[in-house]
Amino acid sequence: MLRSMTGYGRAQKILNGRDISVEIRSVNHRYYEYTSRIPRTYSYIDEKLKSLLKSAISRGKAEVSVTINNIEGKDAQIAINKDIAEGYVAALRSISEELGLKDDLVLSKLIKIPDIFNIQKTPDDEEQICADVSEVTSEALERFVVMRETEGERLKKDILEKADFIIERVGMVEAQSPVTVEAYRNRLYKKLSEVLADKNIDEQRIITEAAIFSEKIAVDEETVRLRSHIAQLRDILESNEPVGRKLDFIIQEINREVNTIGSKAQDLSITKIVVDMKSEIEKIREQIQNVE
């Protein structure tokens, strides 16, 4: 299936106390190029993501953006400082006895005392975080690929329509070429006859020489190769592999044959047809720059 090099995919999930969001986008590039925007504290997941994207992208400049937010309290451990608590309790009861006050100390009052609790950040489980981010990235990558394939199908349809246009014009060239060759042969024969009128040269020789020269403007071989190249173009478009480079090569071959037809043909109508074909070829060339 044809794929565009431009695409976008996003996914978001809450996994193991973390809100993870991943965005993947790509633009045209001759080769595969990877860049990332990942929080510095999670930079260890970068190589994993690079490998994951590489498995699905062969061409294009791809960027992955990762956001990881810890859900409040999920990454914290709360510890009680028993020594400080016992010290507070002992001091309060001591002053209660000395001042003859009622001992109404309860837990709800004790927890309001500073320094009773220590809040410690839970160490990151790098392996788990890497697995969670990879899971979210895989979802974003699936959506990214779908978008690329959807755009690729649109490009394929458009390229095929232009290929059909070119083949139609090839048929017009094939129909006009014999007429052009015959007209050129007659003109050449007439000129040779005039130039050699006073010479002792066999008329059959003149006819033969005129035929030889007139055949030089025939484009039969070029149109046959052009049809073959268009057939290859269609086959390539049906491939399930990345085909951007193959398309670039075959469009060069198509353009070469059309240029040759334009340079050989001695006919204004064929020249106009060649201009039309070159216009469509250029449009295809622009489109395949966006094919993976």
The predicted model gives 147-171 an average pLDDT of: 95
Residue predicted with more confidence, 197 or 233: 233
Q: Helix, strand, coil proportions of the chain in percent (round to 5)?
A: 60, 15, 20
Q: Which domain holds residue 38?
A: 7-71+125-148
Other C-beta atoms lying within 10 Å of the C-beta of residue 145 = 18
Same domain, 192 and 213: yes
Same domain, 114 and 54: no
Distance CA 36, CA 79 (A): 37
Length of the chain: 292
Q: Are 173 and 219 in contact (CB under 8 A)?
A: yes
**β-strand partners of 10:** 23
Same domain, 158 and 282: yes
| Residue in the block written with tokens 């690329």 | 148
Coil/strand/helix, residue 117: strand
Same domain, 46 and 96: no
Residue 139 lies in a domain: yes
Same domain, 114 and 132: no
- pLDDT of residue 213 exceeding 60: no
Q: Residue 232, Cα to own-chain centre: how many angstroms?
A: 22
Residue predicted with more confidence, 28 or 212: 28
Residue 1 lies in a domain: no
> Which of the four pLDDT bands, split at 50, 70 and 90, describes residue 277?
very high
**Per-residue confidence (pLDDT) for residue 124, from 0 to 100:** 72
Same domain, 40 and 156: no
Average per-residue pLDDT for the chain: 85
Other C-beta atoms lying within 10 Å of the C-beta of residue 111 = 11
Same domain, 110 and 24: no
Same domain, 175 and 219: yes
Distance CA 161, CA 167 (A): 10
From residue 126, how far is each of 69, 74, 162, 272 by CA, in Å? 15, 16, 52, 66
Same domain, 191 and 217: yes
Same domain, 203 and 279: yes
Residue 232 lies in a domain: yes
> Which of the four pLDDT bands, split at 50, 70 and 90, describes residue 45?
very high
Pairing of strands 18-27, 32-37: unpaired
Same domain, 43 and 142: yes
Residue 84 lies in a domain: yes
Tens digits of residue pLDDT in 7-18: 999 999 999 889
Residue 2 lies in a domain: no
Tens digits of residue pLDDT in 173-206: 988 877 766 666 666 666 666 655 655 556 565 5
Q: What percent of the chain lies above the pLDDT cut of 70?
A: 82
Same domain, 98 and 219: no
Residue 132 lies in a domain: yes
Q: Show Cβ contacts of residue 33 under 8 Å, excluding neighbours closer than 6 positions.
A: 60, 61, 62
Tell me the CATH number at 139.
3.30.230.40
Q: Are 96 and 8 in contact (CB under 8 A)?
A: no
Residue 230 lies in a domain: yes
DSSP for 59-80, written as a single string: SEEEEEEEEEEEPTTTTEEEEE
Distance CA 250, CA 152 (A): 18
- pLDDT of residue 235 exceeding 60: yes
Distance CA 288, CA 49 (A): 28
- pLDDT of residue 232 exceeding 90: yes
Q: How many structural domains does the chain have?
A: 3
